[in-house]
Amino acid sequence: MTRKTPVPELGPLEFALLRILWKKSPATAGEVLEEYNARTTRPLAYTTVMTLLTRLVEKGVLRADRERQPFAFSPRIGRETLLKQRVREFVDVFFDGRAADLAVRLVEEGPFPPDVTRRLEELLRERKPATRRRDRGKP
């Protein structure tokens, strides 16, 4: 899946299985099922997991190695790619495309641990626009 191709919408279960495959890949449907059921109070059946994985292959999110039995599944998109796309969509819908407004909102929701505060301050210093010479000295 290319960067320009948007990642299709994913249901909660599809996303949960994708998260498992980001951590452990390639994996068979049985391995994904075992990992998912170990984390939840609502276990899934093997057929449900196989259906969801097949659907993710059809959507272009996963690839299936059909050369072996059982099939091995692995992600075609990375977590960062999906995260960037979803954050951009969120900012576009809720903040009219202004990412800074989201950042301010998140900071207002604080408090943050000291290491996060230091990282935010560092990022702000790095991205602070250069002060123009003629603006110096003005309030």
Query: Which structural domains are found in the chain, ordered by start?
Result: 12-75 (1.10.10.10), 79-128 (no CATH)
Find the helix packing angle between 79-95 and 99-108, rounded to 10°. Answer: 90
CA separation for the pair 13, 19 (Å, rounded): 10
Residue 136 pLDDT exceeds 60: no
Q: How many CB atoms lie within 10 A of CB 32?
A: 24
Short-list 39, 9, 46, CA closest to 24: 39
Q: Which residues pair with 108 in a beta bridge?
A: none
**In the prediction, which pLDDT does 6 show?**
78
Residue-wise pLDDT tens digits, 52-68: 999 999 999 999 998 88
CA separation for the pair 74, 87 (Å, rounded): 23
What is the mean pLDDT of the segment spanning 71-93? Answer: 93
pTM for this model (two decimals): 0.74
- One-letter amino acid at 120 equals L
